[in-house]
Structure 1
Amino acid sequence: MSTATVESNHSAALDAAESSAFARITVTMRVRRFNPEVSAEATWVDYQLEMDPKERVLDALHKIKWELDGTLTFRRSCAHGICGSDAMRINGRNRLACKTLLKDINPEKPITVEPIKGLTVLKDLVVDMEPFFQAYRDVMPFLITKGNEPTRERLQSAEERERFDDTTKCILCAACTTSCPVFWNDGQYFGPAAIVNAHRFIFDSRDEAAEQRLEILNDRDGVWRCRTTFNCTDACPRGIEVTKAIQEVKRALITRRF
């Protein structure tokens, strides 16, 4: 085979691969819409979009808002999985829209997008996050020192840091809390995210308010409401072992060892 033929075949293969890589597909985005100024009931609306399968659900929502229907309302900020503002139910599971690729959620079928559950829907995909953040504030998510403010850096060993390292990754997206059936049925439950953030400080060697946080969570709406369904762990976009953290807080309440 001549060199020219080999180069021609190689070029054709590259062209075919490039064409395949940028192939676009028709996607049906089925979005749950709600506008309290228009109707007391939510409705499902379908949008047909031409998308690259490697694009994200967030890209599809942008396309709807910017090109098809400017009234669509949703939250988003960094668009890179750090801010946690675009948590929503996608095909029945809590996910971050900015981290969910179309190709990974069977784009041949309609992709359903709806607000996270358990919090009041304000409009379309936007929910009232205040109850969620109030539970977060209630567990005192900050370092507390009983004496005078330290004048030097409070050093930690690698082992001490490792004790709570996993729960430092929380981005307060509410995916875990709003995947919890206990929270759905009783909004008074602190919820997984608040307990995770309490864990982060209860087991921090620099903190001196672990007992206070444990007493806050030793409540009918605290850690004992957890039924270990593992929905929270499955939903966490940061890979935090949420259920494990909750069980460690329960154990600390019983043993008073932390």
Structure 2
Amino acid sequence: MTATLEETAPAAAAGEIPSFEVTIRVLRYSPESEHGTSSYWDEHTLTMYGTDRVLDALHKIKWEQDGSLTFRRSCAHGICGSDAMRINGRNRLACKTLLKDLNISKPITVEPIKGLPVIKDLVVDMEPFFASYREIMPFLITSGNEPSSERIQSPAQREVYDDTTKCILCAACTSSCPVFWTDGQYFGPAAIVNAHRFIFDSRDDGATQRLEILNDKEGVWRCRTTFNCTEACPRGIEVTKAIQEVKRAMITRAF
């Protein structure tokens, strides 16, 4: 049975935020580890509070117990995408995941996202991910002369691709994809989502080029529709739906 914060936290005075003990198990990695192996589990027991998130726990470990712990983070408001990691076996943003929403009666496991080379601890090499992103040309492509006024777009035209504008390039979707785990050459969901954002933009003239790029053996047809990507997206993007729409556009040339 999952322990709730109310069941594990000591009684607190009115107005106080209840505290609780939690164990964080971090998968550490260093090519020069003194443990005799490049990766190992490291445990820390912490006193945390009901408003704390996994990122707060990692900060506490780094600032108070082990300064060598390495991870990425930036704004801590769930929109920069830099602190994506596997938490209890699922891809999440550490800054959005409340500790109290996890099973705090058991150790909370924190690992780097899968499918990308680990540099140190929770930091992975994002270059393969961004290489695919750059390849789909994630920018507006127009033909002809510069417009003399703004490019008008109706609310209905915007709505067609509105969902895929929410991507924050955290790689949570791509690194949750079994195809990407086994074949690092696959473009991956995030690249396809960002292609979708421009393919269906009525102001863009580069849809045909992007579809040709994705019509590759490592392109959109590698998707096996497992929905891992949609479940992993911290922004709630319907990733699998977007991929299917790109497939349909490739067949029908309707965009």
Aligned to 2:244: 247
SS at match of 2:75: coil
SS at match of 1:84: coil
Percent identical pairs in the alignment equals 76
1:130-141 pair list within 5 angstroms: 130-141=127-138
Aligned to 2:92: 95
Aligned to 2:31: 36
1:1-258 pair list within 5 angstroms: 18-19=13-14, 22-38=17-33, 40-258=37-255
SS at match of 2:46: strand
In 2, distance between residues paired with 1:17 and 1:28?
A: 21
| Letter in structure 2 aligned against 1:103 | K
SS at match of 2:23: strand
TM-score relative to the length of structure 1: 0.92
Higher helix share: 1
TM-score relative to the length of structure 2: 0.93
TM-superposed CA distance for 1:23, in Å, is 1.8
* Change over 3 Å in CA distance of 1:110–1:253 after alignment to 2: same
| Letter in structure 1 aligned against 2:56 | D
Equivalent pairs, count: 243
| Letter in structure 1 aligned against 2:28 | R
**Which runs of 5 or more residues in structure 1 are unaligned?**
1-15
SS at match of 1:248: helix
The runs of at least 4 aligned residues of structure 1 exceeding 2 Å deviation read 16-21, 37-41
TM-superposed CA distance for 1:146, in Å, is 1.7
TM-superposed CA distance for 1:17, in Å, is 6.9
TM-superposed CA distance for 1:54, in Å, is 2.5
In 1, distance between residues paired with 2:71 and 2:146?
A: 42
SS at match of 2:27: strand
**Which runs of 5 or more residues in structure 2 are unaligned?**
1-10
Asked if the contact 2:50/2:100 (under 8 Å) is kept, the reply is yes
Cα RMSD after superposing both structures: 1.2
Asked if the contact 2:73/2:82 (under 8 Å) is kept, the reply is yes
* Change over 3 Å in CA distance of 1:130–1:214 after alignment to 2: same
* Change over 3 Å in CA distance of 1:191–1:198 after alignment to 2: same
In 1, distance between residues paired with 2:12 and 2:61?
A: 29
CA-to-partner distance for each residue in 1:33-77, whole Å, 9 max, x for gaps? 011122552100100000013310000000000000000000000
